[in-house]
């Protein structure tokens, strides 16, 4: 085995090289990354190397051999697959690692994100739904010093930026959202999809699932006439049809 | 193997420790417990121990090692996983065991339950659908002494309670529904999800599936203009668009 | 192995006892027989024995041991499972075997069938869709003597009967549809589901899939304002919103 | 093994005979080829033989033994399965091989294609969606000489032709679209489905997935009032209900 291949071969299903492939397959079946769309990057917590899914690969068929591995300090590729080019998302993933201290980033072409970006303006908002409690608030518990989640009565706000011809052109708007929404763990790209990050891949996956659930629910609420950030008890005033 | 681990290790796929994991995985793929939402508890019919899914775990990846085991008499934990905290649902599960003689409780964040809670007031109602016959009526057959199911011509009624900041705050409203709806096997929590219980995990699973089917159908009926508890033969009067 | 168990044990995945279990599992994941709803019966072409799924079983967990086997001549059970009762559908399945020369019958609680039964009157109709060509016309090719399918320009018509408190009460209306629709391979039961049969289980499965596809499509057409039996070229006149 | 069977037996999962079966199974579970609908053909890049799925087979159960193999020069069958007839799509597949230099063709009965054919006139159009970048533009990069994809700001246009009683009657309209839309990689057949081709089966699969994603999205946009080829920033003017 070459020294490059040591980086991607492991019997541990939780090794970044294996986990990226498992999750890409799972996300493909969620309709989140069909047609080679979307991608995942994980920082190995032991080596600080970045593992990156390549461009143009069928996400449900990806294997560890298809991955790029990058040194977090030098940003040089320690390993490149023979067949594929780096993903155009790579600069965006690096920005999340460097500015948000991310441990992993998930990018999907979820239709729920695209539809929300068509219906909402510059910000996706949903409030008073239990599933919001899966999303971090950005605050720290003063006693335990642990990160606190949003509460049921909070409003989740996710910024929406405009899409560009090339993904690397999104970088300025991404940095702007880091300033304007310092606590967000996600950015929706209009007519494109969503980027979600977290301190670990487990957290990023949970945040992404919870946000997709909430975007799906928001679309259903909107279609029935209920604003997704509607106050509790005000729902029936907004219903297009009378409550049964 | 430690004495604690004996509680959760079994080759029997129907052992509570194995069955909770199998069902959580199945429910994850139903979009019922993504983002660590939802949970299951089963009472072992042999030992009367309660098996409980923990808080914050990815439900499709859960293993028997992740479970809590509680003594039904002392309510002390006989086994606790190293990584996880008890689910905030635990007091609600205990109430179902103690007041409703449940053998198992299922809690999901089903979007069908959340949408029904936004459209309906204090009670979900659907009538005259074959699938209703999977739900218990609370009555006992005078001859066979066995529990009787709802009939096709009955109306299924499930109470809807308001969500709170913390799940343990739901306990008073849950107890109130036990009094007001003595025959119900389920409670919908507005903007949150649903709790379903039964005398065995097999029954609880069947009730939960049938109720989710009926909530999904009720939403479709509502969207076409038909009240889900509409009398047989009255459907066409309510259709938003003419019958084809 | 007892003489009864010989009837249900085979290494052939196409043996009726194995195929019923495989298909019930597949149909469960289609949301066609959750909550123990629905059922399948297959006539063994070698022995003419009827294989029947029992009542009340979780369809995705069914095994050959759960099946009833009935003699086609005497209508006596050659084998009964210990845990389960015969399905209430059994008299309806027998009617299809005896009057329609069926080789297999599929019964589902498909929500597409239930919704169509709420929207349509006494007959489901859809026309001019390629998938119709999977459904038999009841006519025989004068040259090849083989059964002919519907053509693209035909209208598929499926009778809808009213549901009753007990499934055996459907028998009179079922016999009536056999007379009124001598060529139909399916009957929709309002607010309940659908029965589909064919000369073999392969054919019955294909008919059921094609009909469910067509019912799903008909609902989508109806919701956009297009009558499902709309003439070719007339669609745009019916659209609720202008063609894009 | 007979000389005919050598053509279809390989341990390589990417051999055309194996890949057609794998993809048909995957497409069946996408609801793209239920009820024996749809089909796939792959040209073996080594031998130039055409591998063709037969007519009337259950697509999720197909095996290499069920396939036809045809010589690309003589158009004679090198291998025919015992049980099945050639697909009625065969002349259309041959046209794509001969006129479009296709390496593979995918035909589905996707409901998204059927619905788009009912809503749109003679052309499906969608613009300014990231997923469009998976579709070839027909242009060649002047520097790299490689095929270029559509850009985010382009409009994807797919011709829609009328369905006929028999699939071979579609051939004239198919040839006409080859002239009128020289860069298209797909043709929608009204009330029927879609044909998608590419230089390799991997490319054809990616194009088909991306187009199906875009048709699904276009239907959702249309239902909210937004023309799928709407200019960026104009969405809110078209929304049926106010932006939340």
D123, D130, D216, D235: the catalytic one is: D130
How far are the Cα atoms of A130, A158, B40, C28 from residue A183, in angstroms, in the given order? 19, 10, 32, 42
Residue C219 at interface with chain D, using a CB cutoff of 8 Å: no
B130, B162, B167, B169: the catalytic one is: B130
Per-residue pLDDT tens for D9-19? 999 999 999 99
Going by C-alpha positions, the residue among C199, C99, C194 that lies closest to residue C140 is: C199
Phi, psi angle pair for C187, to nearest 5°: -135, 130
Q: What is the DSSP letter of C230?
A: P
Residues of B in contact with C125 (CB under 8 A): 244
The pLDDT value recorded for residue A2 is: 72
Residue D141 has pLDDT above 70, yes or no: yes
Residue D35 at interface with chain C, using a CB cutoff of 8 Å: yes
Nearest CA in chain A to D206: A35
Residue C39 at interface with chain B, using a CB cutoff of 8 Å: no
Residue D205 at interface with chain A, using a CB cutoff of 8 Å: yes
Average pLDDT, chain D: 96
Yes or no, beta carbons of B35 and A243 under 8 Å apart: no
* ipTM entry: 0.97
Burial class (CB in 10 A: 0-12, 13-18, 19+), A196: buried
Residue C124 has pLDDT above 70, yes or no: yes
Residues of A in contact with B31 (CB under 8 A): 213
Residues of D in contact with A225 (CB under 8 A): 241
| Cα distance between residue D118 and residue B132, in whole Å | 36
Residue D222 at interface with chain C, using a CB cutoff of 8 Å: yes
Yes or no, beta carbons of D228 and C207 under 8 Å apart: no
Residue D159 has pLDDT above 80, yes or no: yes
Yes or no, beta carbons of A152 and B163 under 8 Å apart: yes
Catalytic positions of C are 130
| Cα distance between residue A146 and residue A128, in whole Å | 23
What percent of chain C lies above the pLDDT cut of 90? Answer: 95
Residue D1 has pLDDT above 70, yes or no: no
Q: Which residues contact A149 (CB under 8 A, 6 or more apart)?
A: A133, A134, A135, A136, A137
Yes or no, beta carbons of A244 and B225 under 8 Å apart: no
Per DSSP, what are the bridge partners of residue B50?
B43, B70
Neighbours of A70 (CB within 10 A): 23
Could you give the 3-state DSSP secondary structure of residue A189?
strand
Min CA distance, C83 vs chain B (Å)?
14
Of the two residues C241 and A199, the one the predictor is more confident about is A199
Flag residues of chain A having pLDDT under 70. 1
Question: Binning pLDDT at 50, 70 and 90, where does residue D4 land?
Answer: confident
DSSP 3-state helix, strand, coil percentages of chain A (rounded to 5)?
Answer: 40, 20, 40
**Cβ atoms of B197 and B106 closer than 8 Å:** yes
Averaged over C171-198, what is the pLDDT?
A: 98
Q: Is C192 annotated as a binding residue?
A: yes
Phi, psi angle pair for B186, to nearest 5°: -160, 150
Closest Cβ–Cβ partner in B36, B114, B119 for A217 = B114
The pLDDT value recorded for residue A5 is: 85
Could you give the 3-state DSSP secondary structure of residue C114?
helix
Dihedral sign computed on CA atoms, order C25, C29, C30, C34: positive
Which run of H or of E encompasses B123? strand B123-127
Question: Binning pLDDT at 50, 70 and 90, where does residue C27 land?
Answer: very high
Which residues of chain B from 94 to 133 reach within 8 Å of chain C, CB to CB?
A: 128-131
Could you give the 3-state DSSP secondary structure of residue B244?
coil
Domains of chain B: 1-87 (3.40.225.10), 88-244 (3.40.225.10)
Neighbours of B6 (CB within 10 A): 10
Residues of D in contact with C241 (CB under 8 A): 222-223, 225, 240
The pLDDT value recorded for residue C5 is: 85
Q: Which residues contact C10 (CB under 8 A, 6 or more apart)?
A: C17, C18
Going by C-alpha positions, the residue among D48, D44, D41 that lies closest to residue D196 is: D41
Per-residue pLDDT tens for B98-119? 999 999 999 999 999 999 999 9
Min CA distance, C66 vs chain D (Å)?
25
The pLDDT value recorded for residue C4 is: 78
Chains A–B, number of C-beta pairs less than 8 Å apart:
78
| Cα distance between residue C89 and residue C87, in whole Å | 5
Residue with tokens 């397959």: A25
Per-residue pLDDT tens for C77-119? 999 999 899 999 999 999 999 999 999 999 999 999 999 999 9
Which run of H or of E encompasses C137? strand C136-140
Residue C226 at interface with chain D, using a CB cutoff of 8 Å: yes
Yes or no, beta carbons of A244 and B164 under 8 Å apart: no
Yes or no, beta carbons of B152 and C165 under 8 Å apart: yes
Residues of C in contact with D125 (CB under 8 A): 244
Query: What angle do helix axes C111-119 and B201-224 make, rounded to 10 degrees?
Result: 30
Question: Binning pLDDT at 50, 70 and 90, where does residue B42 land?
Answer: very high
Residue C156 has pLDDT above 90, yes or no: yes
Q: How many residues does chain A have?
A: 244
Q: Is D89 annotated as a binding residue?
A: yes
Structure tokens at B166: 């913390």
D209 tagged catalytic: no
Concatenate the DSSP letters of all residues of chain D into one string.
--HHHHTT--S-TTSHHHHHHHHHHHHHHTTSS-TT--EEEEE-TTT-PEEE-BSS--GGG--GGG-EEE-TTT--EEE--SS-PBPTTHHHHHHHHHHH--SEEEEE--HHHHHHHHHSSSEEEEES-GGGGGSEEEEE-TTT-PEEEPPTTSEEEEEEE---SSGGGGHHHHHHHHHH-TT-SEEEETTTEEEEEESSHHHHHHHHHHHHHHHHHHHHHHHHT--TTPPTT-HHHH-SS---
The pLDDT value recorded for residue C212 is: 98
| Cα distance between residue D99 and residue B213, in whole Å | 49
Nearest CA in chain C to D31: C213
Yes or no, beta carbons of D130 and A189 under 8 Å apart: yes
Mutate to test the interface with C, among B13, B110, B130, B241 (most CBs of C within 10 A): B130
**Cβ atoms of C52 and C41 closer than 8 Å:** yes
The pLDDT value recorded for residue B5 is: 85
Residue B221 at interface with chain C, using a CB cutoff of 8 Å: yes
| Cα distance between residue C32 and residue C110, in whole Å | 5
Concatenate the DSSP letters of all residues of C48-71 into one string.
-PEEE-BSS--GGG--GGG-EEE-
- With vertex at residue C205, the alpha carbon angle to CA C203 and CA C209, rounded to the nearest 5 degrees, is 120
Residue C1 has pLDDT above 80, yes or no: no
Q: What is the DSSP letter of B168?
A: G
Residue D113 has pLDDT above 80, yes or no: yes
| Cα distance between residue D11 and residue D23, in whole Å | 16
Which run of H or of E encompasses C237? helix C235-238
Q: Which residues contact C7 (CB under 8 A, 6 or more apart)?
A: C17, C49, C69, C78, C79
Yes or no, beta carbons of C213 and D111 under 8 Å apart: yes
The pLDDT value recorded for residue A3 is: 72
The pLDDT value recorded for residue D186 is: 98
Mutate to test the interface with B, among A126, A130, A200 (most CBs of B within 10 A): A130
Structure tokens at B183: 């025959």
Yes or no, beta carbons of C244 and D225 under 8 Å apart: no
Yes or no, beta carbons of A244 and B34 under 8 Å apart: no
Question: Binning pLDDT at 50, 70 and 90, where does residue C67 land?
Answer: very high
Averaged over C27-38, what is the pLDDT?
A: 94
């Amino acid at each position: 085995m070459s020294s490059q291949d040591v980086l991607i071969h492991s019997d541990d299903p939780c090794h970044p090289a294996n986990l990226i492939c498992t999750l890409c397959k799972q996300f493909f079946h969620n309709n989140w990354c069909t047609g080679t769309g979307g991608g995942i990057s994980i920082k190995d917590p032991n080596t600080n190397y970045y593992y990156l899914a390549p461009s143009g690969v069928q996400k449900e068929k990806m294997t560890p051999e298809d991955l790029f591995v990058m040194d977090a300090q030098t940003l040089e590729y320690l390993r490149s697959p023979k067949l594929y080019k780096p993903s155009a998302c790579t600069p965006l993933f690096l920005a999340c690692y460097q500015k948000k201290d991310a441990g992993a980033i998930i990018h999907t072409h979820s239709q729920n994100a695209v539809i929300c970006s068509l219906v909402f303006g510059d910000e996706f908002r949903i409030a008073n739904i239990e599933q919001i409690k899966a999303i971090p608030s950005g605050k720290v518990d003063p006693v335990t010093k642990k990160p606190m989640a949003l509460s049921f009565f909070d409003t989740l706000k996710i910024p929406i930026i405009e899409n560009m011809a090339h993904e690397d052109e999104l970088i300025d708007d991404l940095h702007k959202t880091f300033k304007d929404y310092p606590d967000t763990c996600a950015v929706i790209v209009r007519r494109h999809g969503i980027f979600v990050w977290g301190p670990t891949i487990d957290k990023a996956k949970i945040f992404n699932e919870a946000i997709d659930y909430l975007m799906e629910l928001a679309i259903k609420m909107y279609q029935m006439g209920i604003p997704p950030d509607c106050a509790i008890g005000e729902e029936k005033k907004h219903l297009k049809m009378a409550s049964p």
